[in-house]
């Protein structure tokens, strides 16, 4: 959840670290801190966003070529300078930044206090520098090797010691770290977005690995001090993809990018003449896929909503029994799994701790695990047996938009793959693919309605409660639209199946409790209209999403947003766009911090 940056090289560390923190601010923004090793170690911290730290160090001499920095998303202790990273030991010589949770920190803290260590924060992280102090005998690397074997939980760490001024140490166990290899410089970060400005050559640390960085280069060791050789990978996307490019927020930019990102997600993967798809990442498990009789889709938040749409697709078109699980709950059940079951794990970052835990549970049971992941080289991408990348570039805004529509598009491709191995006809496969090809133009026609949607948002931005409703393929879209509104505007919003409205929630409806109903002209359209009538009979305000050319709802509801017609199974890729824009405009009108909503972080790497 937190963001780590470390630098060792020929340039001023301060500049690289601050730039890296800005790139990682989506990972946490409760507080931030920086430590530079020059003539001694100078440390500065601030509560709030990176700009508060910048103000605090303005005019301070922070010269040095080695340093670590951190932006925090609080897990233990309120946001404060005392709880901000980096954290130190009693001597003030050892400094540590940390992403993750040390689950046994209370036991370790008690042991350390009995040995005379004095703690200054409420965090779990602070036990690490004190443990390093306890075992330090001239080599911070060797001390760290002893300490990591005492820690329980998940952690990514970067460590400095004042007495070893040419050395930066990083360690990974359950929390992502990537190392960028530049010209005479090395950068450690939680995410490649902090590195890409300086180099595209990176090495991803695996769990149980320590990176020792010094003037002679990089050495990777396991926890038993065996040296590991690993080739660098090249990052394909460009730094410009992590810029706003004239948009007021990353979220708005990413909404408007969706015509391109859908094209990128399906490019080179359609074999229309045969009604088939080519998913290279699944080639090595294609025979296993033929034998699969049950699919379990796991994900969290937006990814789970996308998976719920995939459930409808896979059952209707591929004829494969499919379940969608909260990844955070999956391993606490005793799911019935056998060699004819596959898990599909969906995660934009590829680092979501709960989803990764579900994948590991599947692998423990020796079943096929597949990933739908955006970040190349991420942990889930490397842990699953096979998978499909989104190829949509970095998604910076905490509230996911383009990743959701890409995930749905890829689930459509997976549906065709499974379906054509079974009973899906060539004609139907071709029809789905032909419609996927023209979706980008249809999405663009919706984004052109942004100003109209803003005017609707102006009418509703003062309400503090909302219900979103949808049926069949659009029931998960209702959940996703509600999630977007609550994430960035802080409006209490529920997303429900339309048919469930009358089973309790209709008691909430009055003139001050509006509903947004997704009602395209599909197989459940008439049922949606009946439910809208029930809401209007109770003086509820209704915004409807429906198909272009449908004038029936104009007199029934308060406001209508139109989307182009498409195949019912692909409607979610279109119907969600107005909901993203509505949430964006409501949040902007309410003065909310859209890209960095309170209490949230982009990559949830703690359980």
Please, are residues 592 and 488 in contact by the beta-carbon 8 Å criterion? yes
The predicted pLDDT at position 308 comes to: 97
Please pick, among 2, 461, 517, 592, the residue that the annotation labels catalytic.
2
Catalytic residue (one of 167, 276, 430, 602): 602
d(CA 445, CA 376): 31
**Mean pLDDT within 252-266:** 96
Q: Is 2 a catalytic residue?
A: yes
Average pLDDT over residues 300-316: 97
Rounded mean pLDDT of 322-334?
A: 90
Q: Is the pLDDT of residue 530 over 70?
A: yes
The DSSP H or E segment spanning 289 is: helix 286-290
Indicate if the pLDDT at residue 265 is higher than 80: yes
Residue 17 Cα distances to 125, 202, 379, 495, angstroms: 20, 17, 24, 41
Q: What is the pLDDT of residue 602?
A: 56
* pTM greater than 0.75: yes
pLDDT greater at residue 39 or residue 553: 553
Write down the pLDDT at residue 298: 97
State yes or no: is 300 an active-site residue: no
pLDDT tens digits, 168-177: 999 999 888 9
The correct answer on CATH 3.40.50.10490 for the domain covering 240-444 is yes
Q: Identify the DSSP state of 17.
A: H
Q: Is the model more confident about 151 or about 26? A: 151
Q: For helices 105-114 and 127-135, what crossing angle results, to 10°?
A: 50
Q: Quick one: which of 65, 62, 132 has its CA closest to 97?
A: 132
pLDDT digits (tens, 9 = 90+) for 52-79: 898 888 878 888 999 999 988 766 668 8
Identify each DSSP E strand in 30-90 by its residue range.
Answer: 31-38, 40-47, 66-72, 87-88
- For the ranges 78-87, 459-468, 502-511, the maximum mean pLDDT occurs at 459-468
- CA pair distance 63, 65, nearest whole angstrom: 7
Position 26 pLDDT exceeds 80: no
For residues 386-395, average pLDDT: 93
With a pLDDT cut of 90, the percent of the chain lying above it is: 69
For residue 434, the tally of other CB atoms under 10 A from its CB is 13
Query: 153: alpha, beta or left, given left = phi > 0 and alpha = psi -120 to 50?
Result: left
Q: What is the pLDDT of residue 362?
A: 92
pLDDT of residue 516: 96
Percent over 70 (pLDDT), the chain = 96
CATH code linked to domain 449-594:
3.40.50.10490
What was the pLDDT predicted at 461? Answer: 96
Residues 427-464: tens digit of each pLDDT: 999 999 999 999 999 999 999 999 999 999 999 999 99
24 alpha-carbon distance from chain centroid: 13
Q: Per-residue DSSP letters for 298-363?
A: EE-THHHHHHHHHHHHIIIII--EEEEEEHHHHTTS-----TTEEEEEEESSS--HHHHHHHHHHH
Structure tokens at 460: 């509703």
Residue 252, phi then psi, degrees to nearest 5:
-65, -45
Residue of 163, 151, 159, 37 lying closest to 100 (CA atoms): 151
Q: Starting from the edge strand earliest in sequence, which strands make up the sheet with 217-222, in order?
A: 87-88, 94-102, 153-161, 168-173, 209-214, 217-222, 227-228
Residue 527 in tokens: 């049922």
Q: Where is average pLDDT lowest: 169-178, 275-284, 287-296, 567-576?
A: 169-178
Contact criterion met (CB below 8 Å) for 308 and 324: yes
What average pLDDT score do residues 524-538 get?
88
Span of 86-95, 377-386, 443-452, 482-491 with lowest mean pLDDT: 377-386
Kindly report the CATH class assigned to 3-235: alpha beta
Per-residue pLDDT, 28: 65
Average pLDDT over residues 303-320: 97
> Exposure pattern of 94-121 as b/e (b: 16+ CB <10 Å)?
bbbbbbbbbeebeebbeebeeeebeeeb
Residue 292: half-sphere exposure toward Cβ, Cα within 13 Å: 30
Q: What are phi and psi of 314, to 5 degrees?
A: -65, -35
Instruction: Check if 240-444 and 449-594 are the same fold.
Output: yes
The three-state secondary structure class of 104 is: coil
Residue 587: CB partners within 8 Å, gap ≥ 6? 485, 488, 489, 594, 597
On the 0-12 / 13-18 / 19+ scale of CB atoms within 10 A, 240 is exposed
Residue 604 has pLDDT above 60, yes or no: no
The closest of 492, 432, 497, 477 to 574, measured between CA atoms, is 477
Best CA proximity match to 583, nearest among 592, 570, 574, 596: 592
Domain ranges in the chain are 3-235, 240-444, 449-594
- 124: exposed, middle or buried (Cβ count in 10 Å: 0-12, 13-18, 19+): buried
pLDDT digits (tens, 9 = 90+) for 227-252: 999 888 888 766 556 677 789 999 99
Model confidence pLDDT, tens digit, residues 356-367: 999 999 999 999
The closest of 158, 161, 150, 155 to 179, measured between CA atoms, is: 158
β-sheet bridge partners, residue 455: none
How far is the CA of 537 from the CAs of 18, 471, 495, 533, 534, in angstroms? 56, 20, 21, 6, 5
309-320 residues labelled b (16+ CB within 10 A) or e (exposed): bbbbbbebbbeb
The pairing of strands 3-9 and 185-189 is antiparallel
Residues 481-491 as b/e (b if ≥16 CB within 10 A, e otherwise) read: bbbbbbbbbeb
Rounded mean pLDDT of the chain?
91
Tell me which H or E stretch contains 446.
Answer: helix 426-447
pLDDT of 584 strictly over 60: yes
């Amino acid at each position: 959840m937190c963001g780590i940056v470390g630098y060792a090289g020929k340039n001023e560390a301060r500049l690289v670290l601050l730039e890296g923190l800005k790139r990682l601010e989506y990972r946490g923004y409760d507080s931030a801190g920086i430590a530079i090793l020059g003539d001694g170690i100078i440390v500065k911290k601030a509560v709030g966003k990176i700009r508060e730290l910048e103000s605090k160090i303005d005019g301070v001499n922070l010269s040095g070529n080695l340093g670590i920095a951190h932006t925090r998303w609080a897990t233990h202790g309120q946001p404060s300078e005392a709880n901000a990273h980096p954290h130190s030991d009693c001597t003030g010589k050892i400094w540590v930044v940390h992403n993750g949770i040390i689950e046994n920190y209370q036991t370790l803290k008690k042991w350390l206090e009995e040995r005379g260590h004095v703690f200054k924060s409420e965090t779990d992280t602070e036990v690490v520098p004190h443990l390093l102090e306890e075992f330090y005998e001239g080599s911070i690397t060797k001390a760290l090797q002893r300490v990591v074997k005492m820690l329980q939980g998940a952690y990514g760490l970067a460590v400095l010691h004042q007495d070893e001024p040419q050395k930066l140490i990083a360690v990974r166990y359950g929390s992502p770290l990537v190392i960028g290899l530049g010209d005479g410089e090395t950068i450690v970060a939680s995410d490649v977005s902090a590195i890409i400005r300086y180099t595209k050559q990176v090495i991803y640390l695996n769990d149980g690995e320590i990176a020792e960085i010094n003037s002679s280069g990089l050495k990777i060791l396991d926890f038993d001090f065996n040296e590991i050789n690993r080739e660098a990978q090249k990052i394909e996307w460009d730094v410009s993809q992590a810029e706003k490019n004239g948009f007021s927020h990353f979220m708005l930019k990413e909404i408007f990018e969706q015509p391109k990102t859908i094209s990128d997600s399906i490019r080179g993967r359609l074999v229309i003449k045969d009604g088939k798809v080519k998913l290279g990442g699944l080639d090595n498990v294609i025979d296993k896929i033929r034998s699969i009789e049950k699919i379990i889709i796991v994900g969290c938040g937006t990814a789970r909503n996308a998976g719920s749409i995939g459930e409808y697709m896979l059952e209707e078109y591929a004829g494969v029994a499919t379940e969608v699980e909260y990844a955070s709950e999956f391993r606490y059940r005793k799911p019935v799994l056998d060699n004819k079951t596959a898990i599909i794990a969906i995660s934009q970052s590829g680092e979501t701790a709960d989803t990764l835990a579900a994948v590991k549970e599947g692998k423990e049971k020796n079943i096929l695990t597949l990933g739908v992941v955006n970040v190349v080289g991420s942990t889930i991408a490397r842990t699953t047996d096979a998978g499909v990348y989104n190829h949509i570039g970095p998604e910076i805004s905490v509230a996911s938009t383009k990743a959701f529509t890409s995930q749905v598009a890829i689930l459509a491709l997976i549906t065709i793959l499974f379906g054509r191995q079974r009973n899906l006809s060539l004609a139907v496969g071709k029809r789905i693919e032909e419609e996927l090809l023209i979706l980008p133009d249809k999405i663009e026609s919706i984004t052109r309605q942004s100003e109209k949607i803003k005017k609707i948002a102006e009418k509703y931005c003062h309400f503090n409660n909302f219900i979103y409703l949808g049926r069949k393929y659009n029931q998960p879209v209702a959940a996703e639209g509600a999630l977007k509104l609550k994430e960035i505007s802080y409006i209490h919003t529920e997303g429900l199946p339309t048919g469930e409205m009358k089973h309790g929630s209709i008691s909430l409806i009055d003139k001050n409790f509006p509903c947004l109903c997704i009602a395209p002209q599909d197989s459940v359209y008439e049922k949606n209209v009946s439910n809208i009538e029930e809401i209007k009979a109770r003086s509820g305000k209704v915004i409807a999403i429906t198909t272009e050319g449908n004038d029936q709802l104009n007199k029934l509801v308060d406001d209508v947003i139109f989307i182009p017609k498409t195949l019912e199974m692909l409607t979610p890729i279109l119907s969600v766009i107005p909901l993203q824009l509505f949430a964006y405009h409501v949040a902007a009108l309410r003065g909310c911090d859209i890209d960095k909503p309170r209490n949230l972080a982009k990559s949830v790497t703690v359980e």
